[in-house]
């Protein structure tokens, strides 16, 4: 009887769920799936017909066919559906069974579900899975957080399923409670930043340099062989040259410029704000998606304001390509640096106890932000315990400094022509702000104290001070004030 039981179950047989399950079966594990949609169940049965794979139509049959402790992953849309699935499943489960949420759930939901399921004796893993449908089939990057004993039980399966880099699986136990989903959220925040930076590079090459799509595709292909190597650069090269069958039109040229979003980038910015960690490249990427959605406003405004044609001769050819390459490398570093610092700070604030080297390691393969740069990031965090921002390391300092002129030049060329480079500009400003010892925020503190008695600290004396600015007298030392509202 036991021989016929399956090792791993999947609820949600959309293309991600089916592919993940077929990947599990590739490695010799018995893989069982269920979905309320009959066509998805049939699709699994036909795609997995020569493997130890089975799709069933009811949760009751599904649960009865899994070996104990049951190992069940849900790959369903984030939100209420996850709660509904859990509610339906709970009466059928036994104590010690393992439930894995492999979707992009918000970390607050994961904290709530973790506590709820723990009280019921169910071991829960909030797990980020990145790599899209292809990654799920061939090897994704997997970020499981939550019940550690559950991780130990599913580890042999997840390690075989995950992508491998130099033989190392792109999966590791991330930490307690919602840490897996938090880390996946930040991964997506970085993804938003990198995508927008590449979009700005494309815009500058096209509108400043006058380059065509095929020429740009060749350039991205060349860059993919260098230090910019990574999945997003690789797919951009492919997208740029893509033509629909039987036409000469590049598909990219007829795609509407309104970017949608499912929320993980915005959550990254929101959480970063809550924790007081600056992630301006990611914020700018989220903002650009929002601006892109206002297509009609942009159309109207483009008629209201004349195009800008500067006297200055545009940078072209190799000179521009080199500057854009530097701008991208510079901005990519700052984007990863912001995401990693957010993880470093929230690891403390949220008691996740994250291993940043391990996170960089499992992002090197399988996931959307995989890139050669992650090996260098892994090394930087591996060498220095407690490192928060990698900009503070010599290896990245040298790169950033060597590329600063490139990003400044690209922003200059674009700004002269009214071409927006919000993400590149945010990256440069972040870098310049973070290397400035004395920022002008002394004035902000003075203003706050002037209108709101919010107090300030001084460079020349210890303590907290308030001044009656319109009747200047000596600054008064005071207890930390509640402050009037401004
Ligand atoms: C995903 O999770 O599918 C993507 O990584 C991010 O999706 P979005 O761009 O639709 O927010």
Local confidence pLDDT in tens for the 486 residues of the chain: 345 899 999 999 999 999 999 999 998 999 999 999 999 999 999 999 999 999 999 999 999 999 999 999 999 999 999 999 999 999 999 999 999 999 999 999 999 999 999 999 999 999 999 999 999 999 999 999 999 999 999 999 999 999 999 999 999 999 999 999 999 999 999 999 999 999 999 999 999 999 999 999 999 999 999 999 999 999 999 999 999 999 999 999 999 999 999 999 999 999 999 999 999 999 999 999 999 999 999 999 999 999 999 988 999 999 999 999 999 999 999 999 999 999 999 999 999 999 999 999 999 999 999 999 999 999 999 999 999 999 999 989 999 999 999 999 999 999 999 999 999 999 999 999 999 999 999 999 999 999 999 999 999 999 999 999 988 666 677 765 555 555
Is-catalytic flag, 191? yes
How far does the centroid of ligand 1 lie from the alpha carbon of residue 187, in Å?
A: 10
Strand partners, 141: 130
Instruction: Give yes or no for residue 292 CB within 6 A of ligand 1.
Output: no
Active-site option among 47, 176, 191, 409: 191
In ligand 1, the atom with minimum distance to the C-alpha of 195 is: 9
Q: What is the pTM (predicted TM-score) of this model?
A: 0.96
Q: How far is Cα 349 from Cα 35, in angstroms, rounded to an integer?
A: 38
3-state secondary structure of 70: coil
For residues 59 and 37, the answer to whether their CB atoms sit within 8 Å is no
Task: Using alpha carbons only, give the angle 75, 271, 350 rounded to the nearest 5 degrees.
Answer: 85
Domain with CATH 1.20.5.320 in the chain: 441-477
Nearest alpha carbon to residue 266 among 283, 247, 246, 249: 283
pLDDT, tens digit (0-9, with 9 covering 90-100), for 26-81: 989 999 999 999 999 999 999 999 999 999 999 999 999 999 999 999 999 999 99
Task: Using alpha carbons only, give the angle 188, 193, 197 rounded to the nearest 5 degrees.
Answer: 145
Tokens 């004395």, residue located? 438
In ligand 1, the atom with minimum distance to the C-alpha of 262 is: 11
For residues 11 and 74, the answer to whether their CB atoms sit within 8 Å is yes
Q: How far is Cα 162 from Cα 366, in angstroms, rounded to an integer?
A: 7
CATH topology of domain 441-477: 1.20.5
Instruction: Give yes or no for residue 264 CB within 6 A of ligand 1.
Output: yes
Domain with CATH 3.40.50.720 in the chain: 8-177
How far does the centroid of ligand 1 lie from the alpha carbon of residue 191, in Å?
A: 9
Tokens 């600056």, residue located? 278
Instruction: Give yes or no for residue 191 CB within 6 A of ligand 1.
Output: yes
Q: How far is Cα 291 from Cα 293, in angstroms, rounded to an integer?
A: 5
For residues 22 and 34, the answer to whether their CB atoms sit within 8 Å is no
Burial profile 202-233: b = 16 or more Cβ within 10 angstroms, e = fewer? bebbbebbebebeebbebbbebbeebbebbbb
pLDDT, tens digit (0-9, with 9 covering 90-100), for 269-303: 999 999 999 999 999 999 999 999 999 999 999 99
User: Counting Cβ atoms within 10 Å, is residue 158 exposed (0-12), middle (13-18) or buried (19+)?
Assistant: buried
How far does the centroid of ligand 1 lie from the alpha carbon of residue 378, in Å?
A: 24
Instruction: Give yes or no for residue 261 CB within 6 A of ligand 1.
Output: yes
In ligand 1, the atom with minimum distance to the C-alpha of 104 is: 2
Q: How far is Cα 222 from Cα 215, in angstroms, rounded to an integer?
A: 11
Going by alpha carbons, the residue nearest to atom 3 of ligand 1 is: 132
| Ordered alpha helix ranges (H), 38-144 | 38-47, 59-64, 80-89, 107-119, 132-138
Tokens 């060749």, residue located? 218
How far does the centroid of ligand 1 lie from the alpha carbon of residue 34, in Å?
A: 24
How far does the centroid of ligand 1 lie from the alpha carbon of residue 161, in Å?
A: 22
In ligand 1, the atom with minimum distance to the C-alpha of 191 is: 5
For residues 401 and 334, the answer to whether their CB atoms sit within 8 Å is no
Q: Cα 204 vs. chain centroid, distance in angstroms?
A: 24
Domain with CATH 1.10.1040.10 in the chain: 184-434
* Mutational test site, ligand 1, from 16, 191, 270, max ligand atoms within 8 Å of CB: 191
Residue 470 DSSP symbol? T
Active-site option among 54, 71, 184, 326: 184
Within 13 Å and on the Cβ side, how many CA atoms surround 305?
10
Q: How far is Cα 452 from Cα 419, in angstroms, rounded to an integer?
A: 39
How far does the centroid of ligand 1 lie from the alpha carbon of residue 308, in Å?
A: 34
* Mutational test site, ligand 1, from 79, 104, 292, max ligand atoms within 8 Å of CB: 104
How far does the centroid of ligand 1 lie from the alpha carbon of residue 262, in Å?
A: 6
Domain 8-177 has CATH 3.40.50.720: yes
Instruction: Give yes or no for residue 188 CB within 6 A of ligand 1.
Output: yes
Is-catalytic flag, 184? yes
CATH code of domain 184-434: 1.10.1040.10
């Amino acid at each position: 009887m036991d021989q016929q039981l399956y090792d791993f179950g999947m609820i949600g047989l959309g293309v991600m769920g089916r592919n993940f399950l077929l990947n599990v079966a590739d490695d010799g594990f018995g893989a069982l799936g269920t979905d309320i949609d009959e066509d998805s169940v049939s699709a699994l049965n036909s795609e997995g017909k020569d493997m130890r794979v089975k799709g069933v139509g009811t949760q009751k049959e599904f649960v009865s066919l899994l070996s104990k402790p049951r190992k069940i992953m849900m790959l369903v849309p984030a939100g209420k559906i996850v709660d509904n699935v859990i509610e339906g499943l709970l009466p059928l489960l036994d104590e010690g069974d393992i439930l894995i949420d492999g979707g992009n759930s918000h970390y607050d939901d994961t904290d709530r579900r973790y506590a709820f399921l723990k009280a019921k004796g169910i071991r829960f893993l909030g797990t980020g899975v990145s790599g899209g449908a292809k990654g799920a089939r061939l090897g994704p990057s997997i970020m499981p957080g939550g019940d550690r004993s559950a991780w130990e039980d599913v580890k042999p399966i997840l390690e075989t399923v995950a992508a491998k880099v130099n033989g190392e699986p792109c999966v590791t136990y991330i930490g307690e409670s919602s840490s897996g989903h938090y880390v996946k959220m930040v991964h997506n925040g970085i993804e938003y930043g990198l995508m927008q930076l590449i979009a700005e590079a494309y815009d500058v090459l096209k509108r400043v340099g006058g380059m065509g799509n095929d020429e740009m595709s060749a350039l991205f292909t060349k860059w993919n062989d260098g230090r910019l190597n990574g999945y997003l650069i690789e797919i951009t090269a492919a997208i740029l040259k893509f033509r629909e069958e039987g036409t000469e039109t590049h598909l990219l040229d007829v795609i509407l410029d309104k970017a949608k979003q499912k929320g993980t980038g915005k959550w990254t910015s929101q959480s970063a704000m809550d924790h007081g960690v600056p992630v301006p490249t990611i914020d700018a990427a989220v903002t650009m998606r929002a601006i892109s959605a206002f297509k009609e406003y942009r159309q109207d405004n483009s008629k209201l304001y004349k195009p800008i044609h500067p006297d200055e001769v545009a940078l072209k050819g190799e000179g521009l390509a080199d500057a854009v390459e530097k701008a991208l490398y510079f901005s990519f570093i700052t984007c990863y640096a912001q995401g990693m610092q957010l993880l470093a700070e929230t690891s403390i604030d949220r008691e996740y106890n994250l291993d940043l080297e391990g996170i960089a390691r499992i992002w090197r393969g399988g996931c959307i932000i995989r890139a050669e740069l992650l090996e260098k990031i892994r090394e930087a965090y591996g060498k220095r315990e407690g490192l928060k921002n990698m900009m503070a390391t010599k290896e990245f300092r040298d790169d950033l400094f060597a590329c600063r002129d490139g990003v400044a030049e690209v922003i200059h060329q674009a700004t002269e022509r009214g071409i927006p480079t919000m993400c590149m500009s945010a990256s440069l400003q972040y870098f310049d702000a973070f290397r400035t010892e004395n920022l002008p925020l002394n004035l902000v503190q003075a203003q706050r104290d002037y209108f709101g008695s919010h107090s300030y600290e001084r460079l020349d004396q210890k303590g907290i001070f308030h001044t009656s600015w319109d009747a200047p007298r000596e600054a008064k030392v005071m207890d930390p004030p509640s402050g009037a509202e401004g």
